[in-house]
């Protein structure tokens, strides 16, 4: 497929009048079983559900290494005040650190690991680059969740991503229990695009990364999709990985348990789906949130 152009806005959103959700125009899986480590059954399941959970994706020793790296970054006083660091609205504790591959050689190397690259290329059917990276840290008792949303809605509206030809990989560095704020997904919801109401405020990212209020579906849309698709949750031991489509509806609750939840989050975008001007925002978001250099990873 050729690269989508700005005239092809097939996913209009941030509207002034409500519009019904509609079927997406693009595939979920662009490659075949011959292109990478996912076999044909795994690709069919991913295409149907919009996500895949891989237990023991990284080793226990690697988990310890990356957890130590996360601890180093979240406690680094030189990063306080850095625009790449997002803190919890209530507690002021670190919530996320973006463009983390720029701050950590270990995570930069991880993003190029064949275990990730081969799967990303297979799912997207092309070379890939990093659209976004971050570490997420949800501390015990104080970690706040993420409201229901589709990442692609934001990436399309505010970053200029033409099509949902991107995939995210979330690698758990701590156990994901059903009760410590684990990510919830609606299987199959990735096949439907849900437009949102309301124009994008200027510098929306400064507040949306703490609590997203613009670009989220209505309660009516969430209710209808939840009844139609049901809700699954990413649970499993540290070292597990969740691969999920850019357009799947997902969210998480607050963590009121003593058990923290942290992960490395890497978003791969097809080089044939490079960012253009935002479709529903007055200016692009900063590069640490949406990388605009679409050079293939190797």
- In the chain, where the domains are located: 42-270
And the tokens for 169?
A: 């990989």
DSSP string, 156-196: IIII---SS-EEEEEEESS-B-TTTT--EE-TTGGGEE---
And the tokens for 74?
A: 């979240």
pLDDT computed for residue 70 by the predictor: 95
Helix (H, G, I), strand (E, B) or coil at 273: helix
pLDDT computed for residue 1 by the predictor: 43
What is the rounded distance in angstroms from the CA atom of residue 165 to the CA atom of residue 203? 25
pLDDT computed for residue 92 by the predictor: 75
pLDDT computed for residue 87 by the predictor: 85
What is the rounded distance in angstroms from the CA atom of residue 263 to the CA atom of residue 174? 7
Four-CA torsion 71, 74, 76, 80, nearest 10 degrees: 180
Phi, psi of 289 (to 5 degrees): -95, -35
Residue with tokens 């405020």: 201
Which of 126, 167, 119, 142 shows the shortest CA–CA distance to 265?
167
Please count the residues of the chain: 298
What is the third-level CATH fold of 42-270?
Jelly Rolls (2.60.120)
For the beta carbon of residue 298, count every other beta carbon within 10 angstroms: 6
Whether residue 127 contacts residue 78, with contact meaning beta carbons closer than 8 Å, is answered with no
pLDDT computed for residue 2 by the predictor: 46
pLDDT computed for residue 139 by the predictor: 87
For the beta carbon of residue 296, count every other beta carbon within 10 angstroms: 12
Whether residue 195 contacts residue 280, with contact meaning beta carbons closer than 8 Å, is answered with no
Whether residue 243 contacts residue 46, with contact meaning beta carbons closer than 8 Å, is answered with yes
Residue ranges in the chain modelled with pLDDT below 50: 1-2, 4-6, 210
What is the rounded distance in angstroms from the CA atom of residue 174 to the CA atom of residue 215? 29
């Amino acid at each position: 497929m050729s690269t989508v152009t700005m005239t092809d806005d097939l996913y209009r959103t941030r509207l002034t009048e409500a519009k019904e959700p509609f079927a997406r125009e693009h595939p979920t899986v662009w490659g075949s079983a011959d292109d990478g480590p996912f076999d044909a059954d795994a690709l069919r399941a991913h295409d149907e559900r919009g996500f895949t959970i891989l237990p023991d994706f990284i080793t226990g020793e690697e988990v310890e290494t990356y957890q130590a790296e996360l601890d180093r970054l979240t406690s680094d006083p030189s990063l306080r005040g850095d625009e790449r660091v997002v803190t919890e609205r209530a507690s002021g504790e670190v919530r996320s650190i973006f463009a983390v591959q720029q701050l950590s050689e270990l995570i930069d190397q991880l993003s190029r690991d064949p275990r990730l690259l081969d799967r990303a290329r297979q799912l997207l059917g092309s070379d890939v680059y990093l659209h976004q990276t971050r570490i997420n840290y949800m501390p015990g008792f104080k970690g706040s969740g993420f409201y229901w949303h589709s990442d692609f809605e934001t990436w399309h509206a505010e970053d200029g991503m033409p099509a949902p030809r991107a995939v995210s990989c979330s690698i758990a560095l701590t156990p994901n229990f059903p009760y410590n704020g684990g990510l919830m997904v609606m299987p199959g919801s990735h096949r439907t695009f849900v437009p949102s109401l309301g124009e994008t405020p200027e510098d929306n990212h400064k507040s949306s990364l703490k609590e997203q209020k613009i670009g989220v579906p209505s309660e009516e849309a969430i209710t209808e999709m939840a009844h139609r698709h049901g809700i699954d949750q990413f649970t499993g031991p540290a070292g597990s990985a969740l691969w999920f489509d850019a357009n799947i509806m997902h969210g998480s609750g607050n963590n009121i348990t003593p058990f923290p939840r942290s992960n490395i989050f890497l978003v791969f975008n097809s080089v044939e789906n490079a960012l253009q001007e935002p479709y529903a925002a007055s200016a692009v978001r900063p590069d640490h949130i949406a990388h605009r250099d679409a050079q293939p990873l190797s």
